[in-house]
């Protein structure tokens, strides 16, 4: 009898330890949106339609469906809607990408859960939902430049990840991207309601925080957008945008961050990363503390000129 009780007790201890070790963030969810895109493919194949009609089918079957089902109440729902707005015309290649995601499904889930646990050890933000989207075949140049992964934070509890498993380095970049977006999601839960405006400086530092957090967790992963400029190019860009740091023009902000005819590719990401990195150099602040510092305070701490 005593032996049975002892065995039950040891079994209980083991199970509790197992849950504590491997069950962290078990309330996080990973949702693959392949079925929505597959439905779009089937509809497109079964109808004789021109390209304009195809655009409408995409909007109905993919963009509107995803937004209405998952993101109507998200903090950044407008950004998600824009992110999904480009129609996918090459449905043959889209189907292949979906198949590659399906064949790597367990690997994708494992990498995401590992990155969430690692991120949660620094910043507490449980109950996240991660949505997996297939890449747009028309955007392969961009996907290659980002090692097969694109991330977007939809809100404090929602992250979108676009994946092309055929591109080399996608697994390492997946973990980095989860950490990057996790930092954004955490910041959003704490600070979104406090924000009364969104300036270029806010955007620069927002992305700089995300990359600094991801770099802290995965220092060996090279994110090319954090070093897209040489020293002279970085100085030139900073001198151009410094008088406009308080601009709330989102179109202008996007040009600076992502690049355009007027601004270098990923220039804003490089500048933002350097601002935060310089601010943290020699700092004893916790990750939680510096993540919640204002963009103005981090710029002041950086001495960035």
Residues 246-257 pLDDT 10s: 999 999 999 999
CA distance 234 to 8: 63
Radius of gyration of the chain, Cα coordinates, nearest whole angstrom:
21
What DSSP state is assigned to residue 230?
Answer: -
Q: What pLDDT, on the 0 to 100 scale, is given for residue 43?
A: 92
Query: How does strand 129-134 pair with strand 149-155?
Result: unpaired
Q: Is the pLDDT of residue 95 over 50?
A: yes
Residues 189-218 pLDDT 10s: 999 988 789 999 999 999 999 999 999 999
Q: What is the mean pLDDT of residues 47-51?
A: 64
Q: What is the mean pLDDT of residues 136-153?
A: 95
Tell me which of 7-21, 157-171, 177-191 is least confident.
Answer: 7-21
CA distance 130 to 174: 12
Q: Is the pLDDT of residue 275 over 60?
A: yes
Length of the chain in residues, anyone? 305
Q: What pLDDT, on the 0 to 100 scale, is given for residue 17?
A: 41
Tell me which of 5-14, 28-37, 201-210 is least confident.
Answer: 5-14
Q: What pLDDT, on the 0 to 100 scale, is given for residue 26?
A: 59
Burial class (CB in 10 A: 0-12, 13-18, 19+), 216: middle
Q: What is the mean pLDDT of residues 70-76?
A: 97
Q: What pLDDT, on the 0 to 100 scale, is given for residue 20?
A: 41
> Is residue 124 within 8 Å of 287, Cβ to Cβ?
no
Kindly list the domain boundaries of the chain, sorted by start residue.
29-193, 200-302
CA distance 8 to 28: 30
pLDDT band at residue 10 using 50, 70 and 90 as cut-offs:
very low
């Amino acid at each position: 009898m005593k032996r049975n009780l002892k065995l039950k007790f040891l079994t209980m201890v083991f199970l509790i330890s197992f849950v504590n070790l491997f069950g962290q963030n078990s309330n996080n969810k990973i949702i693959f949106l392949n079925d929505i895109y597959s439905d779009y493919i089937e509809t497109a194949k079964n109808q004789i339609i021109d390209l304009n009609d195809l655009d409408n089918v995409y909007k109905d079957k993919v963009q509107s469906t995803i937004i209405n089902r998952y993101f109507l109440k998200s903090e950044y729902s407008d950004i998600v809607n824009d992110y999904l707005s480009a129609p996918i015309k090459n449905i043959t290649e889209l189907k292949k990408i979906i198949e590659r995601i399906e064949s790597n499904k367990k690997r994708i889930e494992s990498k995401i859960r590992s990155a969430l646990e690692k991120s949660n050890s620094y910043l507490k933000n449980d109950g996240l939902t991660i949505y997996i989207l297939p890449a747009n075949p028309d955007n392969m140049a961009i996907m290659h430049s980002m090692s097969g992964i694109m991330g977007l934070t939809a809100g404090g509890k929602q992250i979108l990840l676009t994946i092309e498993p055929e591109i080399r380095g996608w697994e390492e970049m997946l973990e980095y991207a989860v950490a990057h977006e996790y930092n954004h999601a955490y910041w959003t839960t704490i600070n979104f309601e406090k924000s009364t405006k969104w300036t270029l400086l806010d955007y620069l530092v927002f992305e700089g925080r995300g990359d600094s957090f991801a770099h802290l967790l995965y220092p060996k992963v090279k994110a090319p957008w954090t070093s897209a400029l040489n020293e002279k190019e970085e100085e030139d860009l900073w001198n151009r945008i410094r008088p406009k740091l308080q601009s709330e023009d989102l179109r202008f902000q996007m040009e600076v961050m992502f690049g355009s005819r007027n601004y270098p590719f990923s220039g804003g990401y490089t500048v933002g990363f350097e601002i935060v990195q310089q601010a943290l150099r020699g700092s004893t602040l916790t990750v939680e503390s510096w993540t919640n510092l204002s963009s103005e305070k981090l710029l002041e701490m950086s001495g960035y000129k």
